[in-house]
Amino acid sequence: MGTFLCWMTVVLVFAASMTANACPPSDLAALQAFKTALHEPYLGIFNSWTGTDCCNKWYGITCDPSTKRVADIALRGESEDPIFQKAKRTGYMTGSLSPALCKLDRLSNIIIADWKGISGIIPPCITALPFLRHLDLVGNQISGQIPADIGKLTQLTVLNLADNKLTGSIPKSIANLSSLMHLDLRNNMISGNIPQNIGKLRMLSRALLSNNQISGQIPNTIAHVYRLSDLDLSLNRLSGTIPESLGKMAVLATLNLDGNMISGSLPASLMKSGISILNVSKNAIEGNIPDVFGPRSYFMVMDMSYNKLKGPIPKSITSASYIGHLDLSYNHLCGAIPAGSWFDHLEASSFTNNDCLCGKPLRAC
């Protein structure tokens, strides 16, 4: 009898220790509800989601080692994981994002990316996750609007909602994301204006908003985002002029404004800035190209094609440190193309369809 009791005690202690190391029942139930709302027919990534311990080898799930609370969901539809290599295909998943996600209130990272078929909306309750740092839902079919109170996620450093079907405007509360470093909303159907208070995002280094239906003017306040190195507002419906202040930003290296309805003249500040990729093509920009190039002008790409620029190509362009790809085609420029050593590699297509340009590589003047 004593041996039996001793054995039972060992079993109970072992069971208790296993339970203590397992994820809480509330997290388990939330993940099961999340899984139920999705259908993944080809890879079997949810086959490992069995048993009562979601911290133990559940694909894509990571738990905090001390609290055993679910900390990360990382499910990518494109990966070098052996599951993908064995199937010899990328992932495909349908269904929607269950609001049960919001019950995982210790989540730090949510990555549910590139599954191509996940639809429905972003659960509004997701803005109540106080520790969320990384929200990546790129490459799905998610519709509806960005939650209006997204600004509650004050720990968020990455917000990637690109390649979906989001509509509505960019919430003004986005300016409260004081830790945000990477914002990617490309390839959606977002409309409305860029919030005037976007200048409050002082940690932001990349703002990628291209291929939407964003209208209105480029806010001057963007220049207050002093860490910004990459600004892509191309393929929208922006109007008005280019703020002079963009050319005075300390680390801005890429500025893509092509495919909008921007008018007015080119700010001189852009020609002598630290920008190395400048694309303002396919707009309605007019006036002369500012004659202010100098040794600080270093452009890997400068595309001003399909605008209403007039006058000569400024002579100071030959004093630029470097211009790799230059496109001034489809404007109203006139006069002799300046002779410069790095102009020698340019083809006629860089200057074609202007009013009266001449000189190498076009016809002689």
Query: What percent of the chain has pLDDT above 70?
Result: 94
Per-residue pLDDT of 31-52, as tens digits, reads 999 999 999 999 999 999 999 9
What is the band of 277 on the pLDDT scale with cuts at 50, 70, 90? very high
Do residues 249 and 230 make contact, with C-beta atoms less than 8 angstroms apart?
no
Q: Strands (DSSP E) along 79-176, which ranges? A: 93-96, 109-113, 116-119, 134-136, 158-160
Q: What is the mean pLDDT of residues 104-119?
A: 98
pLDDT in tens, 153-178: 999 999 999 999 999 999 999 999 99
Q: Any bridge partners for residue 192, and if so which? A: none
Q: What is the pLDDT of residues 231-257, one digit of tens each?
A: 999 999 999 999 999 999 999 999 999
Q: What is the pLDDT of residue 223?
A: 95
Q: What is the pLDDT of residue 80?
A: 87
DSSP-assigned beta bridge partners for residue 303: 279, 327
Say yes or no to pLDDT of 6 above 50: no
**Cβ count within 10 A of residue 356:** 12
CA distance 195 to 177: 13
The whole-model pTM stands at: 0.92
DSSP state letters, 210-276: -SS--EEPPPGGGGG-TT--EEE--SSEE-SPPPGGGGG-SS--EEE--SS---SPPPHHHHTSS-S
pLDDT of 4 above 50: no
Fill in the amino acid letter for 29. Answer: A
How far apart CA 308 and CA 39 sit, in angstroms, is 52
Q: How far is 10 from 13, CA to CA, in rounded Å?
A: 5
Residue (of 109, 101, 152, 104) closest to 128 by Cα position = 152
Please check whether residue 118 is in contact with residue 142, taking contact to mean a CB–CB distance below 8 angstroms: yes
12 vs 134 pLDDT, higher one: 134
User: Given this model, what pLDDT does residue 11 score?
Assistant: 36
Q: What is the mean pLDDT of residues 318-343?
A: 91
Residues 6+ apart with CB under 8 A from 59: 45, 46, 47, 48, 49, 75, 83
3-state secondary structure of 362: coil
**CA 165 to each of CA 120, 190, 210, 246: distance values in angstroms, whole numbers, following the listed order:** 10, 8, 13, 30
Question: Rounded to an integer, what distance in angstroms lies between the CA atom of residue 146 and that of residue 316?
Answer: 46
pLDDT, tens only, 284-304: 999 999 999 999 999 999 999
Are the C-beta atoms of 192 and 166 separated by less than 8 Å?
A: no
Residues facing 298 on adjacent strands: 322
Residue 195, preceding peptide bond in cis (omega within 30° of 0)? no
pLDDT, averaged across the chain:
93
In angstroms, what CA-CA distances link 246 with 275, 339, 347? 9, 29, 30
- Residues 178-230 have pLDDT tens digits of 999 999 999 999 999 999 999 999 999 999 999 999 999 999 999 999 999 99
Confidence of residue 345 (pLDDT cuts 50, 70, 90): confident
In terms of DSSP bridges, do strands 206-208 and 158-160 run parallel, antiparallel, or are they unpaired?
unpaired
SS3 205: coil
pLDDT for the residue 21: 63
Q: How far is it, in rounded angstroms, from Cα 77 to Cα 94?
A: 11
| Residue 349 backbone class (left: φ over 0; alpha: ψ -120 to 50; beta: rest) | alpha
Residue whose structure tokens are 């800035």: 273
Residue 20: its pLDDT value, please? Answer: 52
Say if residue 7's pLDDT is above 60.
Answer: no
Is residue 83 within 8 A of residue 75, CB to CB? The reply is: no
Report how far residue 98's alpha carbon sits from residue 112's, in angstroms, rounded to the nearest whole number.
Answer: 12
> Is pLDDT above 90 for 19?
no
